[in-house]
Amino acid sequence: MDDKFKKIPNHIAIIMDGNGRWARSKGKDRIYGHTNAKKAIRESIEICGELKVQYLSLFTFSTENWNRPSIETKALVKLIEKVMKEELNDLIKNNIKIKVIGNLSKFSSTTKNTFLDGISKTKNNTGLNLVLAINYSGKWDIINAIKEVKTKEKDFSKLEEKFQSYLSTNDIPDPELIIRTGGEKRISNFYLWQAAYSEFIFADIFWPDFRKKNLNNAIFEFQKRKRRFGGL
C-alpha cells in the first residue's frame, strides 16, 4: 500500500473555529469570515476523498451559536443553506454521502427541506460520508439518548455497550482524529461521548485559511502517535 494511505484515520472531525477573528483581522464583520470559509470546507472534503477517509464530520452550527446576535445567526443559517444548494451537484458527482445530525426543529421548513434534499439525493453514494453537525451539541445528543434508554431499556447491566446505538451518531464510528482550528484548546460541547479515545490536534490557524496542507500535517501528526486505549 502507498505510504500516504497507511494509518489514515477512518473518521476525522473538525471544529471549524476562527471565522470571526479572521474577519476582524481584515477589518471586516464576522459574517464576512463565515462567507469566506467555503474554500476550507471544499479542500477538506477533497483531501479526505483523495486519502480514502471514510467519514468527515464538520461542526457546522452548535446549539450555543443561537446565543450570538440574531443578525449573525440568521446570516449563518442562510449561508449554510446556500452552500448546501451550491455544492450539492459536486457532492453527488464525487460520490459523497451527506448525513445531518442535530436538532433541526428550530429551523424553517425551507431550511430543513434543503438539508433533507441533500440527504435524499446522496443516500446511495458510496464514497466519503460527510457528517454535518447542525444545531448540534454533545450534551443534547447524550440527553436525547438517555430519554430513549429510559423508555426502551430494562436491563442496564450492559448499558455502556448499548448506549452508542441511541446517539445520533449510532451508524457512524467514533472519530479517531479531532481537529480544532483557531488556536483555542477545548471541545466546545461537540462529540462528548464519541471523543473518549480521539486524538486531538489544535491548529493555530483560523478556519478560512485552513487548506489541504494543514489537514495533511494534522494527519501526519496523528500517524506519529501511539494509541493505547488505556493499555500499555
Enumerate the β-bridge partners of residue 99.
131
| Strand stretches in 25-128, DSSP E | 55-62, 97-101
Q: Is 216 a catalytic residue?
A: no
Helix axes 70-93, 38-50, angle to 10 degrees: 30
Contact between 100 and 132 (Cβ < 8 Å) = yes
| 128 φψ region: left (φ > 0), alpha (ψ -120 to 50), beta (else) | beta
The C-alpha atoms of residue 125 and residue 131 are separated, in whole angstroms, by 13
Grid cell for residue 87: 455544492
Out of 2, 3, 10, 17, pick the active-site residue. 17
Out of 10, 29, 36, 65, pick the active-site residue. 65
Helix (H) or strand (E) holding 14: strand 11-15
Determine the 3-state secondary structure of 190 from DSSP.
Answer: coil
- Backbone φ and ψ for 66, nearest 5 degrees, come out as -65, -15
Give CA torsion, residues 147, 188, 43, 221, to 10 deg: -110
Q: Is 189 a catalytic residue?
A: no
| Strand stretches in 16-115, DSSP E | 55-62, 97-101
Residue with cell 493499555: 231
The C-alpha atoms of residue 225 and residue 21 are separated, in whole angstroms, by 31
Instruction: Return the active site residues.
Output: 17, 65
